[in-house]
Amino acid sequence: MIRVLFVCLGNICRSPMAEGLFTKRIKDLNLDNKIYVESRATSSWEVGNSIHEGTKNILDQYEIDSKHMRAKQITNRDFETFDYIIGMDQNNVDTLISMNPNYKYKVYLYLDICVNNHKKSIFDPYYTHDFKKTYDDIILAMDLWINKFINDIKNWLTIIYY
């Protein structure tokens, strides 16, 4: 199983939105036994708090239950157990690498998978108040990431069986 962790500054806006949207998409594709997702924060500022109302409203539109979502900060154990640690902006990626440089090979910038996209960071809707734009950015790359995860599963199986 591929284990994916989405990370933003506070874990109340972007990363839980990605977690909820990916979880639903993965389940709809019947891949929930192959891909597992969670989300975390680089900071401790919001730990224990519920997700932002703007993120909750987006997830509610798609009938995604967010009642269980509470902000958590990334731990050293997370670096060990997750296969992909995906930062929502360059500051998140830089912070993640500085937190645990031994696992920098697991750290990715979310929009980097969109080769022709000139925008690389998903702006924080906590400051922009544009939760719809955050949603659009997440959706833009979602299936590209899922295809990458599926291809990696196939590659890993090939290595194991040959």
pLDDT tens digits, 47-84 = 999 999 999 999 999 999 999 999 999 999 999 999 99
Pick the catalytic residue from 13, 14, 25, 137: 14
pLDDT of residue 159: 52
Q: What percent of the chain has pLDDT over 90?
A: 90
Q: Distance between CA atoms of 31 and 1, rounded to whole angstroms?
A: 10
Q: Distance between CA atoms of 38 and 22, rounded to whole angstroms?
A: 9
8 is a catalytic site residue: yes
Single pTM value for the model: 0.94
Mean pLDDT on 103-130: 92
14 is a catalytic site residue: yes
In the chain the domains, ranked by start, together with CATH numbers, are 2-161 (3.40.50.2300)
137 is a catalytic site residue: no
Q: Distance between CA atoms of 63 and 40, rounded to whole angstroms?
A: 22
Pick the catalytic residue from 8, 78, 89, 137: 8
Pick the catalytic residue from 25, 40, 78, 124: 124
Task: Flag whether pLDDT at 156 surpasses 70.
Answer: no
DSSP, residue by residue, 85-153: EEESSHHHHHHHHHH-GGGGGGEEEGGGG-TT-S--S---HHHH--HHHHHHHHHHHHHHHHHHHHHHH
Q: Which amino acid is at 117?
A: N
